[in-house]
Amino acid sequence: MSDRPSPRASAIVLTGLMHLLPHHLLGRLAHWVTRCEWPPVKDWLIRKAVARFHVDLSQAAESDPTAYANFNAFFTRTLRPGARPIADAPQAICCPSDGEISQIGSLSEGMLVQAKAWDYSLRDLLGGDSALADELAEGSYATIYLSPRDYHRVHMPVSGTLQRMIHVPGRVFSVSPATVRQVPKLFARNERVISLFDTAHGPLALVLVGAMLVSSMETVWSGQVTPPRGRKVSRGDWSRRGITLQRGQEMGRFNMGSTVILLLPPGAVSALEELGPGDVVLMGQKLGRLR
């Protein structure tokens, strides 16, 4: 009989250790390392990432790994034209990012499924905003996990006009599938940036969830949102700025891998594609159809 711990036991041990780690200190260190422009360091990091995570640079606008100014520039790389076609059906809901489906479906009594036997409340995810949670309760959602090999820019699933942005400080646990199965209410505990849009079908929210070593999240209208680390929930009113983004247009990015949660209101979705946990998706592909 092998003395090697089971994958589940290993995941439990690693998750326990994560509770003890200085999450934000590690994030600041990652922020510094990933922006180092010294070729021996940044080229080594990029080569290691390409090999370890099987990154397909043939789809990138810049396919030469040594041409990037630093590791973060490589990580947030743009893609060549046509690499991610946008679903062209008029009522299509487009996938906002590359990644793997963690969960997709309908909210029930304001609750989202995190993993088998784990759920969490929409109100907690939205930083305690009860009014917004009420608007989106009983609606539809999709949770998408971005791995280190994925394209890390987030795009609009439908066209909309920005109304508010909410920054919720918190922990930065890993959001790997193994950790998601072990840490209760993880997405409502990690630091996150919530962008609320007004669309022809009602309110739409995109939640960018930070994760361990994710030292920065950005939006196209405000630039870098985090760091610096905040201690209180901050709410910004952008409704008078006239910021309208079309379906498929970039709205933000992660500077390391993480998770995107798309929230749509009740009655907005006619049908969702037959996707489930573990299914790989690409930015721009059809997730469902609007009414």
Per-residue pLDDT tens for 216-226?
789 999 998 87
For residues 25 and 15, what is the distance between their CA atoms, to the nearest angstrom? 18
| Count of positions (residues) in the chain | 291
Mean pLDDT of the chain: 87
Across 85-112, average pLDDT? 94
The residues annotated with a catalytic role in the active site are 98, 155, 258
pTM: 0.88
- Are 248 and 94 a contacting pair, CB within 8 Å? yes
Q: Per-residue pLDDT tens for 28-64?
A: 666 677 888 999 999 999 999 999 999 999 999 999 9
Q: What angle do CA 22, 223, 170 make, to 5 degrees?
A: 30
The percentage of residues in the chain with a pLDDT greater than 90, rounded to a whole number, is 66
Instruction: For residue 227, say if its preceding peptide bond is cis, omega within 30 degrees of 0.
Output: yes
Coil, helix or strand for 121? strand
